[in-house]
Structure formats: structure tokens, C-alpha cells
Structure 1
Amino acid sequence: MASGETEIQVRPGVEDDLKALTDLYNHYVRETAITFDTEPFTPRERRAWLLSHPEDGPHRLRVATNANSGSARLHARFGFRHVGTHREVGRKFGRYWDVAWYEKPL
């Protein structure tokens, strides 16, 4: 790996990760339009979500609000392609947001 680069490892989430995952998600609930949730969650409330993502699941679809071009570049960098945009599907922070859909074949 070239100097200055950071190695990223991806592994399946486990129940011991639930508090950290919930804290991370709640940041985006409170501060961004990445999710249209408006109230933070507890780890207990997020447990069903964690268990609904099995290690061998078909995670090829990703959605993102159209808040910035950086998101589109990031998705492209990881091999996702834009497959559509739904207009004004969510409301948060006093405005309507478009949602872009990306997919990546596995």
C-alpha cells in the first residue's frame, strides 16, 4: 500500500458492534439528510436491523440523498452505478430531498 493510504477492512457486524453502530447512525439522524429518520435510536431498537443483514445477504443496492457530488464520486469509486433518482421523497430540516439509487453487481 502506498504511503499515506489507509487500509479499509469490511467485516460483518455482530451484536458487540451494536452500540457503536447505533451511535454512528444517530449522528446521521441528528445532523444530516442521509436518513429521513428524525429521532435517535437505542441499540435495542436497532438490533432487529442488525440481524436483518446476514453475512451472505445480497447487499448490492445503496441509496443516498442528492446532497452533494462527493457522494456520487464515492459510489463510483467503489463500483456502484447510478440507476435512478426519486424526486422529493423525503422531508427533513424544512426541505424536500431527492434520493439517488445506486447498485453494484456482486
Structure 2
Amino acid sequence: MAPHGTAEPQVRPGIARDLDGLTDLYNHYVLRTPITFDTVPLTPKGRMQWFLSHPEDGPHRLMVATEPTPSGPERLLGYATSSPLRPKAAYATSVEVSVYCAPDAAGRGVGTALYTALFDALAGEDLHRAYAGITQPNAPSHRLHTRFGFRPIGTYEQVGRKFGQYWDVRWYQRELGGSGD
């Protein structure tokens, strides 16, 4: 077995036993960064509805990246999701995507592996565009999204306040090529 941190990430759909790890990973970003505008840590019970809104098929997916550990269960390295952009019916062929990686997994290709698997899974869905909102500044996320064909389309200036500071969110879009094209 490869030493901790050297194995290729394994990507698969999220399952119920991932919920604690997904919540812990997300809470890192809630408590320490402006990357998410949630300001209060979540609980696995509080994240259950979010988890259930990402089944293994359809346009709203949850992909997780893991690596084996020598002592037992796999370790969660990150996750990516596609979620409804807005609740109104005309938005159904658009999704908002996001990716979160464990802080110690940076630079290992986890985000790339997650987005590759997510966009492969979405390829057969009736989707037209994917959107991503990135709190500024965030050069690594900009590079990842650009690598996957996203282009910036505008910025919501000072749209969120966290840690006593206002933050901009730059929006990106990517065509997905659903059957409505």
C-alpha cells in the first residue's frame, strides 16, 4: 500500500457513510475561509437534506475523492457537486458546481480528478451550462475552473460579509452540451 498522501485519489459517488467526513471537511471552510458564505458549522444531521439532494444519477451529483489508509477506512480527500442553479423550472438545464479539497490534499490533482469524474457523469444528462461562483481572491480555484473550460462572466462585488470583511464573488460558466443545444 502506498504511504499516506501518495496514492492516486479514488473517485466515486458519495454514500451515506461519507456524511461525517463531508461535513467535517466543509466545516473547515466555514470556520477558516471566505470560500463559503456559511458562517456557522453544520452537523451531519443538518447536512442530510443536502446529501439526499445528490443521488447517484441525474443532473445533481456528489462525487468524493478518497485514498486508502493503512489502518482502516479510506480517507476523504475532497468532493465535488452539481446542484440546481435556481429553483425555477426554466433553470433545470443549468447547474452550479463546486469542489472542496482537504487542505493537506492541495496540489495532488484531487480537484482535477473530482471535476473529471463529475463532468464525465454529467455528460449524458440534459444539461446546457454549468456555473461556479468563486470568492475572490482564489487563484487555485480560478486555475482549476479555467482548465475545465470555464470562463469568467461577471463579478458580484462585495456580495458577502464574513470575518468582518466584504468579499466579491466572480462567476464562471462552462457549456455542457445537453440535448437542448
Give the shorter-chain TM-score range. Answer: 0.7 to 0.9
Stretches of 4+ moved more than 3 A in 1?
5-10
1:22-59 CA-partner distances (Å, limit 9, x unpaired): 00000000000011111101101001111112332153
The TM-score with structure 1 as length reference comes to 0.82
Question: Residue 66 of structure 1: which of 136, 140, 156 is its match?
Answer: 136
User: What's the Cα RMSD here?
Assistant: 2.0
Q: Specify the SS of the correspondent of 1:22.
A: helix
**Counterpart in 1 of 2:111?**
none
Q: Specify the SS of the correspondent of 1:101.
A: strand
Q: CA deviation at 1:9?
A: 4.4
Q: Based on CA coordinates, which of the two structures has the bigger radius of gyration?
A: 2
Give the residue type in structure 1 aligned to 2:59. Answer: G
Q: Could you tell me how far apart the structure 1 residues matched to 2:29 and 2:150 are?
A: 22
Q: Specify the SS of the correspondent of 1:97.
A: strand
The TM-score with structure 2 as length reference comes to 0.51
Q: Could you tell me how far apart the structure 1 residues matched to 2:36 and 2:164 are?
A: 14
Give the residue type in structure 2 aligned to 1:40. Answer: P
Q: CA deviation at 1:6?
A: 6.8
**Counterpart in 2 of 1:11?**
12
Aligned residues: 102
Structure 2: tracts of 5 or more residues without a match: 1-5, 61-81, 83-129, 177-181
Structure 1: tracts of 5 or more residues without a match: none
Q: CA deviation at 1:20?
A: 0.6
- Which deviates the most, 19-28 or 46-55? 46-55
Say whether 1:26 aligns with 2:27.
yes
Higher strand share: 2
Question: Residue 152 of structure 2: which of 71, 74, 82 is its match?
Answer: 82
